[in-house]
Amino acid sequence: MSTATAGPTAPQRQDTPRPLDRGLQPSDKVFHGIARLVGAVVLLITGSIGLFLGLQLIPTLHAYGLHFFTQVNWLPDTNQVGVAAAIVGTFEVAAVAITVSVPLALMTAIYISEYAPRVLKGPLVSLIDLMAAIPSIIYGLWGFFLFQPYVATITRWISTYLSWFPPFSVDTDTHAPVVPLASRYWGSTTIAGLVVAMMVVPMACAVMRGVFAQAPPGEREGALALGATRWGVIRSVVLPFGRGGIIGGTMLGLGRALGETIAVLLIVSPVFDINIHVLETGSITVAALIAARFGESTPQQLSALLAAGFVLFAITLVVNLVAATFITRSRSGAATEI
Amino acid sequence: MTMATLPAASAAPGTPVRDQAGHQLPRPLGGDVPRPVGTRTADDRIALAGCAVGSGALTWIAYDRLLPFSGFTGFLLCWYVVFLVLYTVVSALSQPRPLVIDRLVTAVVHGGAVVVFLAVLSTIFYTFAEGRHALIHLNFYSQTMDGVTPTAPLTQGGISNAIVGTLIEISIAVSVSLPLGIGTAVFITEVGGRFARAVRTVVEAMTALPDILAGLFIYTTLIVDLGVQNSGFAAAVALSVMMLPIIARSAEVVLRVVPGGLREASLALGATRWQTVWRVVLPTARAGLATALILGVARGIGETAPVLLTSGASTFFNLDPFHEPMNSLPLFIFTAKQSGETNFIDRGWGAASVLLGLVLVLFVTARTLARSRPGRS
């Protein structure tokens, strides 16, 4: 602005920027102070949970040693306490959930962004978001009462004809005239994993769809103009563009699957054993273990449960951080800059 | 996608040599007619319908009559697989390879999407269908389970205490986590600095916190260490610990997309930073913030795990969040299912319907708000 006055009267003078007072108004100082305080309080609350859980590892390891990580049983009365079975079970349930939900989420995301009629797109996106908002206990009930009887017939079929693959074998006579479906096939890792998949699908699908929708239209039209089929456009433009979103959505879903409590607790029959037979009844996850055992515990067992919780938290934290890295690194992130 | 002169591309079935169309240059007088990309030819439709019927019949003969299989679920699965094979073969008879793959992928993608949509719709309808036994009784909304045995008929007892408990707990949780969550979001986006980035990292990390751990943390610190009773207050604190990172994070995303030009315009007019935030940024983002809040509430209202550890189940009516256990809808559903009694499970379905209804109302409100124009009340 000062150039306007620097006319012929003062040709020699150098232009100097008008000094701006960068100090804050008193009211803004208060505002910044309060905002900083809120930030600090939230940091304290959230950070203290992680710290608190982490600190519980010390007394637990002191009491049970490194066997805490290798011991399978959870028998506090005989001083056998370990999370090995629960951690393996957690990963089995998550593996089933991810195997089923990621293809489904991918197909749903592709359907909504590429195939769905324009009028249906909005409602379908809402439906997927609603699916994420449905409480997990309702999925648990649905899985237990409606889903389980049907799925058990399919898992029985798989165990009858594919039992040469160890995870698919079930310890029962599959050709017996009356197969005890309820006692051998209900409450298995697979059924729990399938119900958890219902909760993973909307999370993964929302991320994937968001990324697919931002695939550049110019490249799509270019592919169409070169004679690509609809699948050709998806394969050569949409999927490569959305790779970060696909990986990120999968990891985000994995984080959810690892931490799911109540649906798993409603469905599985708790068995403290490393059970690789995913179709067979009986499993346990860390979260379900905590929910099942918190009430009857002494302080020492409580700190063991907290330590188990910390192990779970550490795993989900790493998974989510990796997911966040992939999602922000995908090209789609550039579009949020305004 | 709406280009006028696309050469023969995705959907030009029926023309075996597809590159020919490229030579038909625009006719000067007739004008270009856009080739419809998304429509289906008669060949497409007949192949699809024929394969569906044919594979259905084939599966029926093989599955139901010849092989030792039975069951409706298995039949559907086999039908779908046979359909995919038949559709591929039929397409390969008349179409070039890229089109065969395109058709197969279309069928697979539609199948996957239909499975997901059916699953979510079946969850909603099944819940209300099972809940209708309890929902038709008025006493279900007005009475409690105090003095009612689990096996009692549905004309006795109800879930009024659980409904009230859920509302009280979620109100306390919101009144804690809303100011803190939005305050954090304002701090991260409007104040900034190294400390804000640290807060943001931690908040983002804590959205990964499994819900059970929020409950376990509050159970250990408040109930075991500090000796607070199992109460609605403890449950509300657990819920707010769980909701805080979720609300803070989504509010931050909403504030970040408020155009920077608005802030600069406000500052250039001489407003202080606080005035800018209060008069410009927050009103602009009002709809988005409301959506973030409501989705956080919808998430918190259905959480069972934190409540299970902290509130304690009660059968009686309790309006005092600080003393005595307080029941809530998710906890009631959980107890009902674990009891194994038919009538009690029916009540559980009724409670699940009420809970799902609440979530649906919240969800529709959030959608309506999100659709309204930002900056207008």
Alpha carbons within 13 angstroms on the beta-carbon side of residue B366 total: 22
Structural domain includes residue A103:
yes
More confident residue, A226 or B145: A226
Does the distance separating the beta carbons of B302 and A136 come in below 8 Å? yes
- Which residues lie below 8 Å from residue B168, measured CB to CB, with a gap of 6+? B232, B236, B319, B321, B326
Grade residue A29 by pLDDT with cuts at 50, 70 and 90.
confident
**Interchain pair A302, B224: CB under 8 A:** yes
User: How close A274 gets to chain B, by Cα (Å)?
Assistant: 23
The region that residue A262 occupies, defined by phi over 0 for left and psi between -120 and 50 for alpha, beta otherwise, is alpha
Contacts of B259 in chain A (CB under 8 A): 338
Cβ contacts of A24 on chain B, cutoff 8 Å: 273
Nearest chain A alpha carbon to B367: A126
- CB of B156 within 8 A of CB of B143? yes
B99, B91 Cβ separation under 8 angstroms: yes
Cα A101 from chain centroid?
A: 11
What pLDDT does residue B175 have?
92
pLDDT at residue A213, rounded to an integer: 86
Do the Cβ atoms of A133 and B18 come within 8 Å?
no
What average pLDDT does range B335-361 have in this prediction?
A: 90
Q: Which of A204-213, A274-283, B301-310 has the least mean pLDDT? A: A274-283
- A124: containing domain: 83-335
pLDDT of residue A172: 67
Q: Which of A24-28, A201-205, B16-20 shows the highest mean pLDDT? A: A201-205
What is the count of structural domains for chain A? 1
Contact residues, chain A, for B260 at CB < 8 Å? 338
Q: How far apart are CA A81 and CA A217, in angstroms?
A: 57
CB B235 within 8 A of CB B328: yes
Contact B206 A115 (CB under 8 A): no
Give the distance from CA B54 to its chain's centroid: 37
Residue B346 has pLDDT above 80, yes or no: yes
The verdict on residue A15 lying in a domain is: no
Per-residue pLDDT tens digits for A301-331? 888 888 888 889 888 888 888 887 887 766 4
Instruction: Compare all CA atoms of chain B with the CA of A233 and give the residue at the minimum distance.
Output: B10
A176 found inside a domain: yes
The mean-pLDDT minimum among A39-48, A306-315, B2-11, B38-47 falls in: B2-11
Residue A328 near residue A245 (C-beta atoms within 8 A): no
As to burial, measured by CB atoms within 10 angstroms (0-12 exposed, 13-18 middle, 19+ buried), residue B77 is: middle
Angle between helix A189-213 and helix A118-133 axes, rounded to 10 deg: 140
A138 and B127 within 8 Å at the Cβ level: the answer is yes
Instruction: Please report where in the chains the tokens 């409904």 appear, as a residue.
Output: B163
Reading phi first (left if > 0) and then psi (alpha if -120 to 50, else beta), residue B137 is in beta
Cβ of B188 and A39 within 8 Å? yes
Choose among A133, A290, A320: nearest Cβ to B208.
A320
Closest CA–CA distance from residue A65 to any residue of chain B (Å): 22
Residue A89 belongs to some domain of the structure? yes
Residue B21 has pLDDT above 50, yes or no: no
Distance of alpha carbon B307 from alpha carbon B329, whole angstroms:
10
Question: What pLDDT is recorded for position A110?
Answer: 95
Give pLDDT tens digits for B123-144. Answer: 999 999 999 988 888 888 888 8
Give the distance from residue A6's alpha carbon to the nearest chain B alpha carbon, in angstroms: 24
Confidence at B26, pLDDT banded by 50, 70, 90: very low
Find the closest chain B residue to A301 by CA distance: B220
* The predicted structure's pLDDT at residue A103: 95
CB B21 within 8 A of CB B12: yes
Q: Rounded distance, CA B98 to CA A176, Å?
A: 48
Percentage of chain A with pLDDT > 70? 89
Closest approach of B206 to chain A, Cα-based (Å) = 7
pLDDT at A157: 80
Query: Nearest by CB to A111, which of B11, B113, B126?
Result: B113
Mean pLDDT to the nearest integer, B335-352 = 89
- Residues in A touching B188 (Cβ below 8 Å): 39
Q: Write down the pLDDT at residue B223.
A: 85
**Best B35, B128, B216 residue to mutate vs chain A (most A CBs within 10 Å):** B216
A50 lies in some domain: no
Range list of β-strands (E), chain B: none
A53 contacts A306 by C-beta, under 8 angstroms: yes
- Number of CB atoms found within 10 A of residue A9's CB: 7
Q: Cβ of A225: how many Cβ atoms within 10 Å?
A: 13
Q: What is the mean pLDDT of residues A95-118?
A: 93
Query: Domain for residue A152, yes or no?
Result: yes
- Nearest Cα to B376, choosing from B268, B290, B251? B290
Q: Which residues of A touch B203 (CB under 8 A)?
A: 42-43, 46
B226 Cα to chain A: minimum distance (Å): 14
Burial A123-147 (b: 16+ CB within 10 A, else e): ebbebbbbbbbbbbbbbbbbbbebb
| A288 and A270 Cβ atoms separated by less than 8 Å | yes
CB burial of B132-165 (b: ≥16 within 10 Å; e: otherwise) equals: ebbbebeebeebbbeebebeeebeebbbbbbbbb
Q: Which of B206, B209, B359 is the closest to A135 by Cβ?
A: B359
pLDDT of B235-266, one tens digit each? Answer: 999 999 988 988 998 898 888 888 889 999 99
Residues of chain B neighbouring A57 (CB-CB closer than 8 A) = none
Q: Residues of B with CB below 8 A from A113's CB?
A: none
| Count of C-beta atoms within a 10 Å radius of residue A166 | 9
The distance of B79 to chain A (nearest Cα, Å) reads 14
Averaged confidence pLDDT in chain B: 83
Q: pLDDT tens digits, residue range A250-307?
A: 988 898 899 888 889 988 888 888 878 888 888 888 888 888 888 777 777 888 888 8
Q: Token pair 């659709």 is at which residue?
A: B371
Q: Which residue has the higher pLDDT, A180 or A71?
A: A71
DSSP state string for B57-116: HHHIIIIIIISS---HHHHHHHHHHHHHHHHHHHHHHHS-HHHHHHHHHHHHHHHHHHHH
**Cβ neighbours of B244 in A, within 8 Å:** 42, 45-46
- SS3 state of residue B183: helix
Q: What sign has the CA pseudo-torsion A52, B174, B199, B183?
A: negative
Kindly report the CATH number assigned to the domain that includes residue A170. 1.10.3720.10
Q: Which residue of B has its CA nearest to A309?
A: B213
pTM: 0.83
Query: B172-224: per-residue pLDDT in tens?
Result: 999 999 999 999 999 998 888 889 988 888 888 888 788 888 888 888 888 88
The residue type at B284 = T
CA B240, B241, B246, B248 torsion-angle sign: positive
Which tens digits make up the pLDDT trace of A114-155?
Answer: 999 989 998 998 899 899 889 999 999 999 998 888 888 888
Distance from CA of B98 to the nearest CA of A (A): 7
* Neighboring chain A residues of B212 at a CB cutoff of 8 Å: 259, 261, 287, 290-291, 309
Check CB contact under 8 Å for B102 and A294: no
Predicted local distance difference test score (pLDDT) of residue A24 = 74
Q: Kindly report the nearest CA distance between residue B236 and chain A, in angstroms.
A: 15
Interface test with chain B among A32, A37, A49, A300, by most B beta carbons within 10 Å = A49
How high is the pLDDT of residue B29? 54
Q: So what's the pLDDT on residue A1? A: 42
A21 within domain boundaries: no
C-alpha to C-alpha distance for A30 and A10, rounded to whole angstroms: 43
CB pair distance less than 8 Å for A198 and B206? no
**Which tens digit of pLDDT belongs to each residue from B92-123?**
998 888 889 999 999 999 999 999 999 999 99
For residue A48, being part of any structural domain is answered with: no
